């Protein structure tokens, strides 16, 4: 069976070269006589995998030496609780709500202290990002939390908050490694890997060292549950317990692909910008499909659009799937369609999708 063009928001498609490499090593990883899926996490082979994966992430993302990198179970959703447990030292933090996941993060933060929603684009149906320079941040905020790219609504931050003395915490699940990031602007970056990096089952956190060893107001670090404690897990180099071995291995393969096949994140950004331009230019050049996002804040990773009628939306998704363009149905909170065009989506996938969209438009306009 021919491979389809998979526009899923996550778990998403992986680079074909990475899948072929994993396939070639599946039964016998580099002479070990075993698969990475079945080897001990204490073996010399896996020790090399986890160390080389972390080193590759430091190179690709240009992570400074004063930041720790950790590989965790629980996905980004678990990070919604880990962040306030470890960092809400004043009992309060500022949250900017620009979509469903930042809303959930704020709700989780409110279980551990005062999660102040200092700005939101809800009144505009999350079709833009608030002006981060005009937000009245709290003087006693332990951190400022954002979701840098909004998978469901198709928006992204153009600038990020920068407040002296207040760490910025960012969920980068749906945009990590799609473009260069200045890690020094953040106290903590976290992301689920299932959108742009690896199969589902793992989150990565990149934490500035001076933030470690603390706890939410009213707690001491030793009262944080062990598996929710950044200090314990990062201090054990992600090996406190059995880590998500296969996801770590796959992350290493994707990072190697980004570094050596693509040529780094600046090159990846150029590819992604060109891909998104093809789709957005088409959407802007006709009046059958509609993208609701303010142009300045359009995501490069998740492109949302609708036809003139919800029934046509259903027909579009069905006909698209039959033509080999799968997982285009929009999130239930938004409806319509969503094309997630992550790093692994080839440019030809966008070109062929646009050709299909035009064919559908002519048939139904």
Which of 210, 184, 235, 193 has its CA nearest to residue 63?
A: 184
More reliable by pLDDT, 5 or 334:
5
pLDDT band at 365 (very low <50, low <70, confident <90, very high): confident
Per-residue 3-state assignment (H helix, E strand, C coil) for the chain? CCCCEECCCCCCCCCHHHHHHHHHCCCCCCCCCCCCCCCCCCCHHHHHHHHHHHHHHHHHHCCCCCEEEEEECCHHHHHHHHHHHHHCCCCEEEEEECCHHHHHHHHHHCCCCEEEEEEECHHHCCCCCCCHHHCCCCCCCCCEEEECEECCCCEECCCCCCECCECEEEECCCCCCCCCCCHHHCCEEEEECCCCCCCCCCEEEEEEHHHCCCCCCCCCHHHCCHHHCHHHHHHCCCCCCCCCHHHHHHHHHHHHHHHHHHCCHHHHHHHHHHHHHHHHHHHHCCCCCECCCCHHHECCCEEEEECCCHHHHHHHHHHHHHCCEECCECCCCCCCEEEECCCCCCHHHHHHHHHHHHHHHHHHC
Q: Which fold has domain 32-260?
A: 3.40.640
Residue in the structure block whose two tokens are 């290493």: 252
pLDDT computed for residue 1 by the predictor: 59
For 14-58, how does the pLDDT look when each residue is reduced to its tens digit (9 = 90+)? 999 999 999 999 999 999 999 999 999 999 999 999 999 999 999
- Decide: 144 and 93 in contact? Cβ < 8 Å: yes
Strands 188-192 and 203-208: antiparallel
Q: What is the mean pLDDT of residues 281-300?
A: 97
Select 5-15+264-364's CATH number: 3.40.190.10, 3.90.1150.10, 1.10.3720.10, 1.10.260.40: 3.90.1150.10
Convert the pLDDT of each residue in 128-184 to its tens digit. 999 999 999 999 999 999 999 999 999 999 999 999 999 999 999 999 999 999 999
pLDDT above 80: residue 85:
yes
Q: Does the structure show a pLDDT above 90 at 2? A: no
| pTM for this prediction | 0.97
Which pLDDT score, from 0 to 100, does residue 46 have?
Answer: 97
pLDDT at 329: 97
The per-residue pLDDT of the chain, averaged, comes to: 97
For residues 206 and 297, the answer to whether their CB atoms sit within 8 Å is no
pLDDT tops 80 at residue 276: yes
- Reported as a single tens digit per residue, the pLDDT across 213-265 is 999 999 999 999 999 999 999 999 999 999 999 999 999 999 999 999 999 99
pLDDT at 306: 97
Residue range(s) of every CATH 3.40.640.10 domain in the chain: 32-260
> Band of the pLDDT at 270, cuts 50, 70, 90?
very high
pLDDT higher than threshold 90 for residue 321: yes
* pLDDT at residue 158, as a whole number: 97
Could you tell me where in the chain the CATH 3.90.1150.10 domains are found? 5-15+264-364
């Amino acid at each position: 069976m021919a491979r389809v063009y998979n526009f899923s928001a996550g778990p998403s498609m992986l680079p074909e070269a990475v899948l072929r490499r994993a396939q070639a090593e599946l039964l016998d990883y580099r002479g070990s006589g075993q698969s990475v899926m079945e080897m001990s996490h204490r073996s010399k082979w896996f020790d090399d995998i986890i160390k080389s994966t972390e080193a590759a992430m430091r190179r690709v993302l240009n992570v400074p030496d004063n930041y720790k990198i950790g590989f965790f179970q629980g996905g980004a959703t678990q990070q919604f609780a880990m962040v306030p447990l470890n960092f809400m030292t004043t009992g309060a933090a500022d949250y900017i709500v620009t979509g469903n996941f930042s809303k959930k993060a704020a709700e989780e933060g409110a279980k551990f202290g005062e999660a102040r929603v200092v700005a939101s684009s809800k009144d505009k149906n999350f079709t833009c990002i608030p002006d981060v320079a005009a937000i009245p941040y709290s003087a006693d905020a332990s951190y400022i939390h954002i979701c840098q790219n909004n998978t469901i609504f198709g928006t992204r931050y153009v600038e990020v908050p920068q407040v002296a003395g207040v760490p910025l915490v960012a969920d980068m699940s749906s945009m990590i490694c799609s473009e260069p990031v200045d890690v020094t602007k953040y106290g903590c970056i976290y992301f689920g890997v299932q959108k742009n990096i690896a199969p589902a089952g793992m989150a990565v956190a990149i934490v500035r060292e001076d933030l470690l060893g603390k706890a939410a107001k009213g707690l001491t670090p030793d009262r944080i549950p062990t598996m929710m404690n950044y200090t314990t897990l990062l201090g054990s180099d992600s090996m406190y317990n059995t880590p998500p071995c296969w996801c770590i291995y796959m992350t290493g393969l994707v990072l190697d692909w980004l570094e050596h096949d693509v040529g780094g994140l600046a090159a990846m950004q150029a590819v992604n910008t060109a891909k998104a331009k093809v789709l957005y230019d088409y959407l802007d050049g006709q009046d059958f499909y509609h993208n609701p996002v303010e142009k300045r804040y359009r995501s490069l990773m998740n492109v949302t659009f609708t036809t003139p009628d919800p029934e046509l939306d259903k027909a579009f998704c069905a006909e698209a799937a039959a033509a080999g363009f799968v997982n285009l149905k929009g999130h239930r909170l938004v409806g319509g369609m969503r094309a997630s065009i992550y790093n692994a989506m080839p440019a030809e996938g966008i070109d062929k999708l646009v050709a299909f969209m035009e064919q559908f438009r002519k048939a139904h306009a």
